[in-house]
Amino acid sequence: MTILQLLLELSLLGSGMTLLWMPLACLDSLLATEVSPQIPDNGSAPLLVDVHVFVSNVFDVNILQYTVSSALLLRLSWFDPHLSWHESTDPRSSITLPSNLLWTPDLTIREGLSVEWREHNPRARVSRKGFVELYTAVTTKTNCDFELLRFPSDKSDCNLSFYAFSNTVEELAFHPHAVNEIVSVKREYMVRGLKAQVPDQQLVPCFQVTLSLENTAIKTTMALVVPGVAILLADICGSLLPLKATERISYKVTLLLGYLVFHSSLVQALPSSSSCNPLLISYFTVLLILLSLSTMETVLMSGLLARGNFSPKSRPNPVPREVLDTANPKPRSEESQRRVEGPRKTWVEAMDHIFLLMYAAIIGCSQIIFVIVWVWWECKSDPPPATDIPHGGKPKI
């Protein structure tokens, strides 16, 4: 009761009101000692703090830096019997006090790279029965281990671990709850799930909030997958050009150089990690190998055809064809007409046609294999070394 009287006096000094419970000299002496408020004594059991975490916004997800920026609102409530009073003493059912005059949990986010509390001294509401309720807002940028195997259709769980290092588990315990209050759906990553729990085997009071993020960016899928398939189709169409046409080599080389530029910029844009890299990196690397093989085949076959190593040797005929036609006016057969109308197909062109069929079959099989791997293959990143060791525990040597 004495503690509450001192707090009420301090809260009413700004309004010019004074209370007649005890002299102000006692309050001055208390402020002069600068003794920080201590955690309420709950006997043999730890003080139970009920925590509600309201996730109001996840406004930045950076997969290249493995960070998530979010805005949270925390509501903490606990019972302090020393702050209760009788109705006869004060008819009010509750009062508000600066939080620096009360004991409050000193929370630290373990994954936090940048944490900004919007109010350094928020006001707490104290009820007549001694229940304390405190609201505080925080904007944080935290580290997240994204599972990017199926990027850009990836799903990841990001943890926010709140620790109270100034207390022990014998003094303090948390009962967390998580509420999703995100109302906007116009974003790349959506929060599909929210879970709050208390981790096991911890030497420091803590609770953990898990954000289940899902990538819903159709634009990224269209910008990455569609160009790769279009380049393969363009390469197959380029193989239909005759080997004798000089435009075929220029077409193939230009297509390969353009894809090299696309591949280099793509690799820089895609995230990478020590394990479970995105499947798209392997997919576009296979496309690069296929395009390189197709270009080398075109150059090789065109060189062989130009040298005439596989061209059929025609027997020289000293008599002009016009003289033979005049001497023998009989109608020629269809086979003779086809021979005269165009040259016979060379072995080089036949090999080029066979390669085209095999190339198209390899492309089709590679697409099917990629779809199967995309659907069925599972890859989980290796857990960090500190996962199995509770905070403050002795590491294994």
Q: Is the pTM for the entire model greater than 0.75? A: no
Confidence of residue 209 (pLDDT cuts 50, 70, 90): very high
- What number is the average pLDDT over the span 317-335? 51
Q: What is the mean pLDDT of residues 170-177?
A: 94
Q: What's the rounded mean pLDDT across residues 279-291?
A: 91
Q: Which residue has the higher pLDDT, 342 or 93?
A: 93
pLDDT at res. 177: 96
Q: What is the pLDDT of residue 68?
A: 94
pLDDT digits 0-9 by tens, 62-103: 988 899 999 999 999 999 988 888 888 888 888 998 988 899
pLDDT at 349 exceeding the cut of 80: yes
Domains assigned to the chain: 2-13+42-215 (2.70.170.10), 219-310+342-376 (1.20.58.390)
Whether 150 has a pLDDT exceeding 50, the answer reads yes
Residues near 395 by beta carbon (within 8 Å), at least 6 away in sequence: 389
- How high is the pLDDT of residue 223? 79
Q: How confident is the model at residue 378 (pLDDT cuts 50, 70, 90)?
A: confident
pLDDT in the model for residue 228: 85
> Does residue 193 have a pLDDT over 70?
yes
How confident is the model at residue 7, as a pLDDT?
Answer: 52
Residue with more model confidence, 308 or 379? 379
174 vs 32, which has greater pLDDT? 174
The model's pLDDT over 10-63, given as tens digits with 9 standing for 90+, comes to 444 444 444 333 333 433 443 455 567 888 888 889 999 999 999 999 988 998
